[in-house]
Structure 1
Amino acid sequence: MDHDIFLVWLNETDNLSPDQRAEASRILSGSPSLQAVVDLLEAKVREDRICPHCASEGAIIRGHASGLSRFFCKGCGKTFNALTGTPLARLRHKGRWAEFAASLRDGETVKVSAERCMVARTTAFRWRHRFLRAVTAGAIKLRGIVEADETFFLSSRKGERNLDRKARKRGGKAAKRGLSEEQVPVLVAADRSGTTISAVLPAVTAAHLQAVLQPLLDPDALLVTDGCTSYPPCAAAMGISHESLNQTAGQRVRGELHIQTVNSRHERLKTFLRRHRGIATKYLDSYLRWFQLAVIPKHQTPRAILAAAAGILPISRHA
């Protein structure tokens, strides 16, 4: 961590509550990643006392099981723990989750993850998608100059048993040249601070672009794109400023305006996905979350990945 950032973080510790100080002390003393996340989850349950089954308040602690505190709901009579209602619920081998989070950070394949964590490949695959299911973006805004551009991936029905076409080997190629229904568009947008978002689009239309961008763009943002004709009506509908670059004519940069940041993100995303030797389109959104969770942030930690998988920490959007 940069020294100046560390000093800012250190000064913020004055605002911590006694419980937060105790939790920070446990983490700094070397508390295992999983236990630190479980402690945070249990602290939240103790604070809210809300049952995940019936939403009644007033749950009480009643013993322990599998290393977790058990809570009893007076309203419905059911018990639960800190993981109930999270994608990590009912997953076994908790002692190996931190190592699996490190495997996610390193972008490893299912085979390598399974060997690293000493679990079956089917277990590693199930863990991957359960861990990524709860990952959220949190409340973010793209500000200032915001670059946006789409990239495309060949539609894949990998793993399906009943296809209405001949199966392709190793990904294969599209039957048609250029853009077609066989290509799945992925929008990537980033501002100059490095904050980045990505999303699968049903199609590259003004309405679909607006649905993704409007909740994320600051009203004073300047949207910079290539010459795609869907962006001007999208920007007009959102009421924000828009500038386009005619890249077909070789206009890559105009003053401070360019889309090189998102094009770089495109290359990193494709490099990240390439090592997995083709993924099914139905899982593409999960892999985008993985890219945002573990590839874009610098020095991501297994603890942060576990916290994001447990739904208590939004993913970082900064490079």
Structure 2
Amino acid sequence: MDHHDYLAWLSEIDDLSSYQRIATVRLLAGQPSLEAVIGLLEERIGTARNCPHCAAGGAVIRGRSNGLKRYFCKICSKTFNALTGTPLARLRHKDCWTEFAGSLSDGDTVKTSAARCGVASSTAFRWRHRFLRAVTAGAIKLRGIVEADETFVLSSRKGERNLDRKARRRGGKASKRGVSHEQVPVLVAADRSGATVSAILPAVSAAHLQAVLQPVLDQDALLVTDGCTSYPPCAAAMGISHEALNQTAGERVRGELHIQTVNSRHERLKSFLRRHRGVATKYLDSYLRWFHLAVLPRQPTPRAVLAAAAGILPVRPCA
């Protein structure tokens, strides 16, 4: 954290509640790993104590289980804890979770994560996908000049035992050049503030592009794309302004308009995926979450990664 951000953080301390002040003091004093994780997870419940089964508030504490407080709902008579109904439910070894969050932040492989946390490789693999499945992006709105472009990732059935084709080695290459059914399209959209959205597309069509872009685009945004013919009808259906760059004719920049930001995101995404030697397509969405969680933010801390995985904080929208 630079000095300016530190001063801004200090200026907001006066607005903390008494509970938040106590939690901050404990954190700065340096809690043991397990105690810090338990304290972070308990923040999910909040003061309303809403039941995940019936959504009613006012649950009462009824003992502890597996290190977490157990709550009893007086409406539906069911019990729950801070992880009930989340992908992290029933996972063990919570004292290793901070270190595992650090391994996600560093982009470690499964074997490296397992050795770092002292668990089996199968456990590290299960934790990776449970943690990433729990990550939420939060409410993001792309404003002003918004660049959008798609990149393609080789379709992979890594891990399947009954293939109808010869298995590829270490990811391999497509049998055909260019775009084909062997390539999975990934849309990336970003505005000039750095806010970024990415999504897997079933196909590069106006309808699929609209399904991804309409919820996140501000109505006054200017959509800038390449010459792909699916974007004009998509922009018209959404009622937003659109400018296309004719990159085939060598038009890379037109005044303030370009798509270099999303092309940079494409390169960073491809570099991130390349380290993992072929990502199975069924897990590609989790790796996109990982990309937003640990690659785009500047120096994500293990606590920030764990808070995002626990569903307490959304992924930071800016790079």
For residues 266-288 of structure 1, the C-alpha deviation after alignment (integer angstroms, 9 at most, x for no partner) is 11111111111101101000000
Deviation at 1:46, TM superposition (A): 5.4
Native 8 Å contact 1:199 1:285 kept in 2: yes
Native 8 Å contact 1:33 1:302 kept in 2: no
Specify the alignment match of 2:123 in structure 1: 123
Specify the alignment match of 1:255 in structure 2: 255
Deviation at 1:24, TM superposition (A): 2.3
Q: Tell me the distance in 2 between the aligned counterparts of 1:255 and 1:315.
A: 32
Deviation at 1:315, TM superposition (A): 0.4
- After superposition, the Cα gap between the structure-2 partners of 1:33 and 1:291, relative to the gap in structure 1 and judged at 3 Å, is farther
One-letter amino acid of the structure 2 residue matched with residue 138 of structure 1: G
Q: Tell me the distance in 2 between the aligned counterparts of 1:46 and 1:268.
A: 37
Specify the alignment match of 2:105 in structure 1: 105
Q: Tell me the distance in 2 between the aligned counterparts of 1:7 and 1:225.
A: 39
Q: Tell me the distance in 2 between the aligned counterparts of 1:18 and 1:282.
A: 45
With 280-289 and 75-84 compared, the bigger mean Cα shift is at 75-84
Native 8 Å contact 1:293 1:305 kept in 2: yes
With 29-38 and 14-23 compared, the bigger mean Cα shift is at 29-38
Specify the alignment match of 2:157 in structure 1: 157
With 161-170 and 96-105 compared, the bigger mean Cα shift is at 161-170
Specify the alignment match of 1:212 in structure 2: 212
Specify the alignment match of 1:304 in structure 2: 304
Deviation at 1:74, TM superposition (A): 3.4
For residues 152-210 of structure 1, the C-alpha deviation after alignment (integer angstroms, 9 at most, x for no partner) is 01111111122222222222222222111111000111111111111101111111111
Are 2:177 and 1:181 equivalent residues in the alignment?
Answer: no
Specify the alignment match of 1:79 in structure 2: 79
Aligned residue pairs, count: 319
Q: Tell me the distance in 2 between the aligned counterparts of 1:139 and 1:31.
A: 32
Specify the alignment match of 2:58 in structure 1: 58
One-letter amino acid of the structure 2 residue matched with residue 131 of structure 1: F
Specify the alignment match of 2:24 in structure 1: 24
For residues 98-131 of structure 1, the C-alpha deviation after alignment (integer angstroms, 9 at most, x for no partner) is 1110000000111111111111111110000000
Deviation at 1:77, TM superposition (A): 4.0
One-letter amino acid of the structure 2 residue matched with residue 317 of structure 1: P
Task: For structure 2, list consecutive stretches of 5 or more residues without a partner in the other structure.
Answer: none
With 179-188 and 244-253 compared, the bigger mean Cα shift is at 244-253
Task: For structure 1, list consecutive stretches of 5 or more residues without a partner in the other structure.
Answer: none
Deviation at 1:240, TM superposition (A): 1.2
User: TM-score, normalised on structure 1?
Assistant: 0.94
Aligned with 2:139: secondary structure? Answer: coil
Q: Tell me the distance in 1 between the aligned counterparts of 2:17 and 2:86.
A: 26
- After superposition, the Cα gap between the structure-2 partners of 1:305 and 1:253, relative to the gap in structure 1 and judged at 3 Å, is same
Specify the alignment match of 1:91 in structure 2: 91
Deviation at 1:146, TM superposition (A): 1.0
- After superposition, the Cα gap between the structure-2 partners of 1:174 and 1:143, relative to the gap in structure 1 and judged at 3 Å, is same
